[in-house]
């Protein structure tokens, strides 16, 4: 049995409640462990913790415009790798039409998040439709393919050597955030039966990032029935009802959607902004020292960032504080916006992510300067 060293203490000029009623003229920074689940302290600074004016070395905040990854690939295993570590691989996949081969991941579960596109998803278990904003969780070893009615842009997040599960919802109960009843599973319907075939069918199997190709004398997606409690599941962000409080900004961990042993996927969905006069009204400056943070922006205006559009991403590794941009901070604290319209996918990883080799122009190399005031930037 191990316990964190615990000594709740107040020193100097400080608020009584985290994220509320901060001392005038101060900026709050949270130093916390275990991704907002462990012990934490709130420090009150005279200056924003992101007020750097120069940055040297490889550890830095980064941003990528994945709209510029624009070459369609027929196979998901040819998708552009964005970030990776031993526990996950984050890819951006553009595809269109019908996949010519089945795909099977022998390395781990995949989460597919459909940023753009619509069509049909076929797998060993049957058929489901997909549209923008859908997550589909594909368990390790399941064969699948897409038929796209329009070009698709898909964020792929692999749980390497692991499985995705649902978060514990504690005192909120099992129906909080989203009711498991909204999860959809594939069906053996007329659309699935129509694709039964005796034609030779190729399956591309990925194991340790090497692809093997297996050809069947028939289409192996030929199930006539199934029972059990393991299958691909689909969830759309529109079915997520985020936790919120009018008087307190809840941490990102309250928006957890799926998680594996070393990877957490959260969904930020539209919600009212805190209305209490003393409550912080956007994500607080924080230095979470146990997780790297990667966010993919799907829709709307991300209320704590400037100059970030749908299809872009930000990456904040462990090692330095981060938080809202100056203009966004001002807007939020003036309560100029009453609700968010953002939809974003956040991926937190226990292990440091490494950027892959990306096409020229995808990375916004001056992103670290985006926290500077206009005066400092000049």
**3-class DSSP state for residue 180?**
helix
Binding site for homogentisate, by residue number, is 322
3-state DSSP assignment of residue 216:
strand
Q: What pLDDT sits at residue 373?
A: 62
Q: Quick check: 189 and 122 in contact, CB under 8 A?
A: no
Low-confidence ranges of the chain (pLDDT < 50): 375-378
| Catalytic residue ranges | 249
DSSP output for 124-178: TTEEEEE-TTEEEEE-TT-EEEEEESS-EEEEEEEEETS--BPPP-GGG-TTSBS
| Domains of the chain and CATH, by start | 27-63+241-377 (2.60.120.10), 72-237 (2.60.120.10)
Residue 91 · residue 76 · CB < 8 Å: yes
Please give the pLDDT value at position 4. Answer: 85
Q: Tell me the longest C-alpha to C-alpha distance in the chain.
A: 76
Number of alpha carbons in the 13 Å side-chain half-sphere of residue 313: 25
Residues 6+ apart with CB under 8 A from 204: 75, 77, 101, 102, 103, 104, 211, 212, 213
Cα–Cα distances in angstroms (integers) from residue 22 to residues 29, 44, 251, 340, 378, in the given order: 11, 8, 17, 23, 30
In the three-class reduction of DSSP (H, G, I as helix; E, B as strand; rest coil), residue 251 is classed as: coil
Residues of each annotated binding site for Fe cation: 286, 292, 322
Distance CA 141, CA 311 (A): 29
Give the sheet arrangement for strand 40-45, strand by strand. 40-45, 27-32, 285-288
Which ranges of 185-339 does DSSP label H, i.e. alpha helix? 190-193, 326-333
pTM of the model: 0.93
How many C-beta atoms surround the C-beta of residue 305 within 10 A? Answer: 22
**Are 285 and 324 in contact, with CB atoms under 8 Å apart?**
yes
């Amino acid at each position: 049995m191990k316990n964190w060293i615990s000594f709740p203490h107040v020193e100097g000029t400080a608020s009584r409640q985290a994220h509320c009623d901060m001392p005038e003229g101060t900026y709050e920074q949270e130093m916390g462990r275990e991704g907002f689940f462990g012990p934490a302290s709130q420090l009150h600074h005279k200056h924003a913790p992101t007020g750097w004016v120069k940055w040297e070395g490889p550890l830095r905040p980064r941003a990528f415009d994945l709209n510029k990854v624009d070459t369609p690939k027929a196979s998901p295993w040819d998708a552009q790798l964005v970030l990776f570590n031993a526990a996950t691989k984050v890819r951006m996949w553009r595809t269109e039409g019908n996949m010519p081969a089945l795909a099977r991941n022998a390395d781990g579960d995949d989460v597919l998040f459909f940023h753009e596109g619509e069509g049909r998803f076929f797998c060993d278990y049957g058929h489901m439709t997909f549209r923008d904003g859908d997550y589909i969780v594909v368990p390790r070893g399941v064969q699948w393919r897409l038929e796209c009615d329009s070009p698709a842009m898909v964020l792929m997040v692999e749980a390497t050597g692991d499985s995705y599960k649902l978060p514990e919802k504690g005192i909120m109960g099992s129906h909080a955030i989203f009711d498991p009843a909204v999860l959809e599973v594939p069906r053996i319907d007329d659309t699935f039966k129509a694709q039964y075939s005796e034609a030779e069918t190729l399956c591309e199997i990925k194991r340790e990032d090497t692809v093997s190709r297996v050809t069947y004398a028939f289409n192996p997606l030929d199930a006539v029935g199934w029972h059990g409690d393991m299958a691909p599941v689909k969830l759309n962000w529109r079915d997520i009802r985020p936790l919120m409080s009018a008087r307190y900004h809840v941490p990102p961990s309250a928006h957890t959607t799926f998680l594996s042993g070393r990877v957490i996927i959260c969904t930020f969905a539209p919600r009212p902004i805190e209305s209490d006069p003393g409550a912080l009204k956007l994500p607080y400056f924080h230095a979470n020292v146990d997780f790297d943070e990667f966010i993919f922006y799907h829709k709307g205006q991300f209320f704590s960032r400037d100059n970030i559009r749908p299809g872009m991403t930000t990456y904040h590794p462990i090692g330095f504080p981060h938080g809202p941009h100056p203009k966004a901070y001002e807007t939020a604290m003036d309560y100029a916006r009453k609700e968010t319209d953002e939809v974003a996918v956040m991926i937190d990883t226990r292990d440091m992510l490494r950027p892959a080799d990306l096409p020229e122009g995808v990375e916004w190399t001056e992103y670290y300067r985006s926290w500077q005031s206009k005066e400092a930037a000049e």
